[in-house]
Amino acid sequence: MKTVFENNIRDLINALCEISRDGFFKMNEAARVTAAALLAGGKLLACGNGGSAATASHIVNDLACHMKNWDRRGYRVFSLCDSTAVVTSLCNDYGMEYVFSKQVDALGEAGDVLWAFSTSGNSKNVVEAILKAKALGMKCVAFTGQKGGAMKDLADVWLAAPSDEVMRVEEMHLIYSHCVAESVEAEVSPGLSEP
């Protein structure tokens, strides 16, 4: 009898093996768009709910600190999920639907990039963030499950995990965002200086 561990690892391996050439192209395009924004003095904003919020926070941490180049300067990157005071204030005063779009409106500018994470692609507050970002002239990278929901048609770059099982999609989003972030760092801050 297979264990949960064996089943989950096999499912993840199968999902990884299903990434298409188009998927790799889109990861490179997400890296290109993000690197271009950072090189031009722009910033990256990231958002999501639940596990996707954790992924947004995680990748912002990596880009602010380092991937492989420990000697580089940190990038201008912000998770819209991290300030308890801001998040709860916006939820209380405007509703959960606008918790991210209000922050995009306050922090975002033309030329910036939004990384939006949603396993379904239909999270209303993440969709609202994309709509606000597009209105401001920002580029948007959507990380979703394989169906993509509303976000697939709104984003400049759509990165779909080849699954609709929430746990697999969340795992794939972390892998995708690590790969894209490492590519961004290689473009923006060439050089490798791991300890």
Length of the chain: 195
Do 151 and 118 form a contact (C-beta atoms < 8 A)?
yes
The token pair at 118 is 């949603």
Task: Please give the full DSSP string across 105-127, using - where no structure is assigned.
Answer: HHH--TT-EEEEE-SSS--HHHH
144 phi and psi angles, rounded to 5 deg = -140, 180
Q: Given this model, what pLDDT does residue 191 score?
A: 76
Per-chain mean pLDDT for the chain: 94
Closest CA to 76 of 47, 49, 54, 45: 45
Task: Select 4-188's CATH number: 1.10.357.10, 3.40.50.10490, 3.40.50.720, 1.10.600.10.
Answer: 3.40.50.10490
Is 16 or 100 the better-scoring residue by pLDDT? 100
In degrees, to the nearest 5, what angle opens at C-alpha 45 toward C-alphas 40 and 50? 160
Q: What is the pLDDT of residues 51-93, one digit of tens each?
A: 999 999 999 999 999 998 899 999 999 999 999 999 999 999 9
Question: Where are the domains positioned within the chain?
Answer: 4-188
Q: What is the pLDDT of residues 167-185, one digit of tens each?
A: 999 999 999 999 999 999 9
Q: Given this model, what pLDDT does residue 193 score?
A: 58
User: pLDDT-derived band of residue 5, with 50, 70 and 90 as boundaries?
Assistant: confident
Packing angle between helix 166-188 and helix 21-39, nearest 10 degrees? Answer: 50
